[in-house]
A and B are shown apart, each in its own frame.
Chain A
Amino acid sequence: MKSLKSSHHALAESFYQLQIIEQSAEQKPFASSLQGCDLYPLRPVALEIFQVNVGKMCNQTCRHCHVDAGPDRKEIMDKDTMRLCLDILRKNPSFTTVDITGGAPEMNPNFRWFVEEINRLGRKIIVRCNLTIIVANKKYNDLPTFFAQHRVEVVSSLPFYSRDRTDRQRGDGVFDDSIKAIQLLNEAGYGMKETGLVLNLVYNPSGAFLPAAQVSLEKDFKQALLTEFGIHFNQLFTITNMPISRFLDYLIQSGNYDRYMDKLIQSFNPAAAAAVMCRNTLSVGWDGYIYDCDFNQMLDLKVQSASQHLREFNSDALMQRHVVINQHCYGCTAGSGSSCGGATI
């Protein structure tokens, strides 16, 4: 499967995606939902999580991917941009966590150097590892050991505890490879009691529906994975699929788009709106531009601030900004809320 960009699909263009999702504003603009609970304009409360997208290259081409990542994507963060990130982290101790994502971030040739340098700064490091990269090539087989040495928290997508649902979303063979990779992570101490090495799994619905309650899904995942594969992990994060990029394409192709947007809008939860991740996170693109979140990044919606690039980073200006919102934001405020750390309430 090719990325939308490689297949010259109209939805590879962010303005076209925005045109489609903005149509749902006729029903209820996201801004008016925020106004209804005194959250408009949406403002940050802190700069705590520094999320860095180190590139769109990936060994997988998942059907729901909001990054439109894949083996055919060549956009990769260079070492100079990583140095800018490190400089900002040094000068801004409020960023207690660095969240590294992609694509498959491990495919960036400077990934390990970047992790080592962040580790020297004493910040908590999260790596969003797609699991299969660990078994994709010999050069990645030692990733569990590398992660453990640098006390990296590993967050990994496993759409479901059954082969069928996982492979439908992420491609044939992904479930079996993911299980092998989790077993290797467990062998390195990840997800095991008293090691302090954290392995969290991510559940994305494999279709046009919302995640069930995080607590009950976590219970089912733990029971099924332990019984069938002897697998241990710490927490399950449930994440709602955003109506953008490849998932938007799926929604339109399957005739589910209107129903899905209706569901997101009807499920707006003011408590989840108050807890959205863009209030304490900044998202940095492979080319150094700054966004309110990874989803805005994929829609090319840069922060509404004079400080739009790492080169001109200004924490005061960024704290004063208004978060850029659009109809896709309903994805983070539906039901129990959704963030890169799972349900928010």
Chain B
Amino acid sequence: MSQHYYEAADLNKFGKITDFQKVVGDKFFNWYSEVFKDSALSAKEKSLIALAVAHAVQCPYCIDAYSTDAFEKGYSPAQMMEAVHVAAAIRGGASMVHGVQMMNKVNEISM
């Protein structure tokens, strides 16, 4: 185990997760590659969604991979930053909308 929880070089070892569990690992990678193919949504659109989700789940490996992928596929830095704002807005909004729950509770217990 290294001194850091995250190592950039580990991204290239992602495929090795099948070393410990091949059957399910293979199924995961088959499903994963199918998900990102051109279909009802294009592979390019899916890349931008992946970039936004990567920021929402704050996965450094995913941010590394999909920043490269989205830029390779032709998105501009401004478009990519707007996608990150969308992720942040949903994260922020998810907290804020719970404010209604807080208000409901306060209203319930106050005179």
Q: Which residues of A contact B (CB under 8 A)?
A: 160, 162, 164-165, 205, 207, 209-213, 216-217, 220, 262, 266
Assuming A209-B68, A209-B71, A209-B72, is B12 touching A216 (CB within 8 A)?
no
The dominant DSSP class at the B interface is helix
- Can you give 11 A-B contacts (C-beta < 8 A)? A162-B76, A165-B76, A205-B72, A209-B68, A210-B72, A212-B44, A213-B43, A216-B38, A216-B42, A216-B43, A216-B44
Q: Which residue of B lies closest to A203 (CB)?
A: B74
Bound CA–CA A205/B72 (angstroms): 7
Known: A262-B12, A266-B12. A216 touches B72 (CB 8 A): no
B12 A220 Cβ-Cβ under 8 A: no
Contact A212 B73 (CB under 8 A): yes
- A216-B73 CB under 8 A given contacts A209-B68, A262-B12, A266-B12: yes
Q: In the bound complex, do residue A212 and residue B72 qualify as a contact, i.e. CB atoms below 8 Å apart?
A: yes
Residues in B35-54 with C-beta less than 8 Å from chain A: 38, 42-44
Q: How far is the CA of A210 from the CA of B44 in the complex (A)?
A: 15
Min CB–CB distance B85 → chain A (angstroms): 20
Most buried by A among B68, B71, B74: B74
A160 CA / B71 CA spacing, docked (Å) = 12
CB <8 Å contact, A212 and B74 = yes
A211 touches B72 (CB 8 A): yes
Within 8 A of A (CB), among B68-85: 68, 71-74, 76
Q: Give min CB distance, B105 to chain A, whole Å.
A: 50
